[in-house]
Amino acid sequence: MKSHASLRLLVNRADQYRARGDYGESAALLREALSLAEATFGPGDLEVAKILNNLGVIYKYLARFEEAESVYRRAFEIFVQTLGPAHPDVATIYHNLGGLEHARGRYAAGEPLARHSVEIRDKALGPHHVDVAADLAALAAILDRQKKYDESEPLYHRALGIFLSAYGPEHYEVAINLNNLAALKHAQRRFTEAEPLYRRSLAIKEKLLGPEHPEVATTLNNLGTLLRVSGKAHEAGTVFRRAIAIYEKTLAPNHPALMTCRRNYDRAVMN
């Protein structure tokens, strides 16, 4: 029983660090939890798979993509062998593998993974479940990076409607979908529609996560890019500087998000 309590404590602490944006400390705690779970339950146990999945999410945030894929694949094998291929937890791994390919910029590779997630979860949970909405939003993000806007935009709106109905207007998932819908409109040069969506997303994230969370910096970077191409270079530079300051506190110096934000700032100040 003591090992069970210790495991819960480690996982809970890792979740707290993750929520604060301290991904390095969260990963360290999850690795400790993984070792304890393997020793306590065995390497093929569902508790092990759940920790592996959580660790994959953190590795993705840290841009440690090869390690993320490795732990996701191991979790996938455990879930399929234990629960069967049509279980919602299997859909979770498809969702996360698709998100990993999105982070790598391999959008075509991520699309079938995201579609599998939607198909499994829709059958298991029904079309109006919030987990289905999360899958729809993830698929939409992959589609719009391939310029498949006619399919992706309705998916974003469907997901956003489910989240608003379930959670209200100031929830994290609402903020994520507002940011992604803004990015779609941004890509289509619908700048006047995109800017208020970015700003709504930013306000929700700041309220929920705090003003120095890396996800706040992500939306700041997106907003700064929009401002730059809209001819508002001075305001864009201010927004980029704030995003860079947040990333420098929370990410490794060579993290792709930080390097991209610095390049975006350079473009803004050279205008």
Say which CATH number the domain at 77 has.
1.25.40.10
In a domain, 118, yes or no: no
Residue with the two structure tokens 């920790």: 51
Q: Cα–Cα distance between 83 and 133 in angstroms, integer? A: 22
* Residues whose CB falls within 8 Å of the CB of residue 141, separated by 6 or more in sequence, listed in order: 102, 152, 180
Three-class SS of residue 122?
Answer: helix
pLDDT band, residue 5 (cuts 50/70/90): confident
Model confidence over 165-179: pLDDT tens digits? 999 999 999 999 999
In a domain, 144, yes or no: no
| pLDDT > 70? residue 217 | yes
| pLDDT > 70? residue 89 | yes
Comparing C-alpha atoms, which of 157, 139, 158 is closest to residue 148? 139
Query: Domain range spanning residue 25?
Result: 7-83
Q: Letter for the amino acid at 246?
A: I
| Tokens matching residue 35 | 């070792």
Distances (CA, A) of 30 to 36, 46, 84, 91: 10, 15, 25, 22
pLDDT, average across residues 110-135? 97
| pLDDT > 90? residue 241 | yes
Residue with the two structure tokens 């120095």: 212
Residue with the two structure tokens 């090992």: 3
In a domain, 239, yes or no: no
In a domain, 42, yes or no: yes
Q: State the pLDDT at residue 23.
A: 93
In a domain, 169, yes or no: no
Q: State the pLDDT at residue 260.
A: 95
pLDDT band, residue 100 (cuts 50/70/90): very high
Q: State the pLDDT at residue 215.
A: 93
Model confidence over 36-82: pLDDT tens digits? 999 999 999 999 999 999 999 999 999 999 999 999 999 999 999 99
In a domain, 129, yes or no: no
Three-class SS of residue 138?
Answer: helix
DSSP state of 232: -
pLDDT, average across residues 220-242? 95
CB atoms within 10 A of CB 146: 13
* Residues whose CB falls within 8 Å of the CB of residue 192, separated by 6 or more in sequence, listed in order: none
Of 53 and 1, more confident: 53
Asked whether 42 and 48 are in contact (CB, 8 A), the reply is yes
Q: Convert 196-206 to b/e letters by CB count within 10 Å (16 or more is b).
A: ebbebbbebbb
In a domain, 29, yes or no: yes
| pLDDT > 70? residue 203 | yes
Comparing C-alpha atoms, which of 44, 35, 101, 118 is closest to residue 76? 44
Distances (CA, A) of 29 to 18, 22, 33, 120: 10, 11, 6, 31
In a domain, 28, yes or no: yes
Number of domains in the chain: 1
Q: What percent of the chain shows pLDDT beyond 70?
A: 99
CB atoms within 10 A of CB 271: 12
